[in-house]
Amino acid sequence: MNNKVKLQVAGTVCGLIVLCIALAWLIPAVEAPSIEAPSVEAPSKEQAFNLEQFIDPETCGGCHDEIMAQWQGSMHHLSHKDPVYTRVAKFYLQGLTDAGHIAEAESCVKCHTPVGYVTGFPKKVSDEFSKVQDIPAQGIQCDYCHTAVNLSQMYNNGFMLSPGQGEDDPGIKYGPFDDAEPEFHDAAFSKLHTDSKICGTCHNVKHVAFGTDLETTYTEWEKGPYNSPDPEKHVSCQGCHMYQRPGVPATGSTPRPENPGSATPDAKQRPHIFTHYFVGANSGLPQMFSDQEKSDMAVARLRHAAEISLEMEKEHTVRVVVSNTGAGHSLPTGLTDMRQVWIELTLADNDGNVVFQTGVPDKNNELPANTVIFNTIFGDGKGNPVINIAKAKEILSDTRIPVGKSAAHLFELNPTPQSGYTLTARLLYRSMPQKILNQLPGEPIGPLPVVEMAAVTKIF
């Protein structure tokens, strides 16, 4: 029986539409445990499941203890509870009247609370977040990623799921092994899980009404050298982010050694167990949850992402070059309307007194307007900059540095450096401007940590 016929049979047998959709997607999944290349053009189909079908991450952690400990407190675990996210999301909704703006501002939960979205609550940001059940509140979790069988699109979370029926009948968990035979659940190899696409479908964000590219991490990677057809040179998202562990930053400029071990204390030894810390550049959020280890890992990642150099062009003109040497995508990536990577330049005289400086936050912790920042600025469609992504109709400026590329900037020094003067250029990172944090209602957030990514000094 082909899938179409099966779908019709399922359609006549079951009465509940919700159940039908769930069944319709279960059938092909059982037949095809190894995943074919996802079809990116396929139209987005909305799936619906019962919350009882999803298993608490704690249960998975009962056997997969190390993986659980790594994922716990990760940004994926915190994707729904992250106070920066929830407050920005609720804030963006305020005062909107345009239907397109509202549609976007309501859409965040599809990625940030994905188990809730596919099981009916929350469906939108205006839903009461305090009523979100315990399992969906645990964000992007084991039983969400490991029940994915296909993707409907390469942006805005195109996951097609085939979950089991809860703990009594956990179903198939899809992963990188083709010989796993666990007792609790069934297991199957999934090519999708070894592919950057499984990350990219959420790490490419488009405005739901205007189509504006809000985040393009997957596309940046896809166009870059790490998406090489040569398997020796190909480095997937997992190849950096799921190799990182304390002491092993695993970036493009550092070794990425395998992590031998086992998936449970009793399972067989494997040459590599993919780590689940999912650390990017955010060192502030783990700190808010007292997770110093993940905070340090984010700093380690940032310190192996870029290089900075300086060269005098004229007596008083310096050329500063920043190179993206360690990221698998642009620098910065993700939410680049908020993320700030900038150049700080300091000239000190023979006694160490600062005689010239640029790129230093003012007393309100805001960067001066003339600071060289690598980021994106969205516009409202008429050339006016907007902070609220719900209103983003166009990209006004884009100074992200692509993979392996450099950006050069000239600075005029005043006074002209004399013999014995010291010039220091630093590349700094913080995950959000104070200006946005200050606008959020409620207890103030911040100041967020500023991380030195790279620095260079010249003595005249």
Q: Which of residues 38-67 bind ligand HEC (CB under 6 A)?
A: 55, 57, 59-64, 67
Q: Pick from 10, 24, 26, 104 the residue near ligand HEC by CB under 6 A.
A: 104
Q: Pick from 29, 111, 154, 322 the residue near ligand HEC by CB under 6 A.
A: 111
CB 365 within 8 A of CB 378: no
Q: Which stretch binds ligand HEC (CB under 6 A): 3-11, 116-124, 275-283, 377-385?
A: 275-283
Q: Which stretch binds ligand HEC (CB under 6 A): 6-14, 259-267, 307-315, 416-424?
A: 259-267
Q: Which stretch binds ligand HEC (CB under 6 A): 83-91, 348-356, 365-373, 377-385?
A: 83-91
CA distances from 362 to 47, 341, 358, 411, 425 (A): 49, 16, 11, 19, 18
**In the range 394-453, which residues lie near ligand HEC by CB under 6 A?**
431
Per CB under 6 A, 88 contacts ligand HEC? yes
φ/ψ of 308, rounded to 5, equals: -130, 140
Nearer to ligand HEC, 272 or 314 (CB): 272
Q: Pick from 76, 391, 400, 426 the residue near ligand HEC by CB under 6 A.
A: 76
Q: Pick from 389, 428, 445, 454 the residue near ligand HEC by CB under 6 A.
A: 389
Q: Which stretch binds ligand HEC (CB under 6 A): 39-47, 296-304, 351-359, 361-369?
A: 296-304
What is the rounded CA–CA span in Å between residue 157 and residue 356?
47
Q: Pick from 25, 136, 146, 392 the residue near ligand HEC by CB under 6 A.
A: 146
Query: From the CB of 7, what's the least distance to ligand HEC, in Å?
Result: 26
Q: Pick from 68, 154, 310, 343 the residue near ligand HEC by CB under 6 A.
A: 68
Per CB under 6 A, 35 contacts ligand HEC? no
Q: Which stretch binds ligand HEC (CB under 6 A): 42-50, 294-302, 312-320, 418-426?
A: 294-302
CB 116 within 8 A of CB 79: no
Strands 354-358 and 373-374, sheet pairing: unpaired
Q: Pick from 21, 35, 82, 117 the residue near ligand HEC by CB under 6 A.
A: 82
**In the range 162-191, which residues lie near ligand HEC by CB under 6 A?**
170, 173, 175-177, 180, 182, 184-185, 187-189
Q: Which stretch binds ligand HEC (CB under 6 A): 40-48, 78-86, 363-371, 405-413?
A: 78-86
CB 212 within 8 A of CB 394: yes
CB 175 within 8 A of CB 146: yes
Who's near 4: CB < 8 A, 6+ residues apart? none
Who's near 78: CB < 8 A, 6+ residues apart? 139, 285, 289
370 membership: H or E segment, kind and range: none
**In the range 321-380, which residues lie near ligand HEC by CB under 6 A?**
326-329, 331-335, 339
Burial group, residue 25, by CB count within 10 angstroms (0-12, 13-18, 19+): buried
| Residue 343, beta-bridge partner list | 427
Query: From the CB of 10, what's the least distance to ligand HEC, in Å?
Result: 25
φ/ψ of 239, rounded to 5, equals: -60, -25
Query: From the CB of 266, what's the least distance to ligand HEC, in Å?
Result: 7
In terms of Cα–Cα distance, which of 53, 5, 3, 1 is closest to 28? Answer: 3
Query: From the CB of 234, what's the least distance to ligand HEC, in Å?
Result: 9
Per CB under 6 A, 264 contacts ligand HEC? yes
DSSP string, 109-147: HHHHSHHHHHTTS-SSTTS-GGG--HHHHT-S-HHHHTT
CA dihedral sign, ordered 243, 217, 140, 182: negative
Query: From the CB of 289, what's the least distance to ligand HEC, in Å?
Result: 10
Centre a 10 Å sphere on the Cβ of residue 21 and count the other Cβ atoms it contains.
18
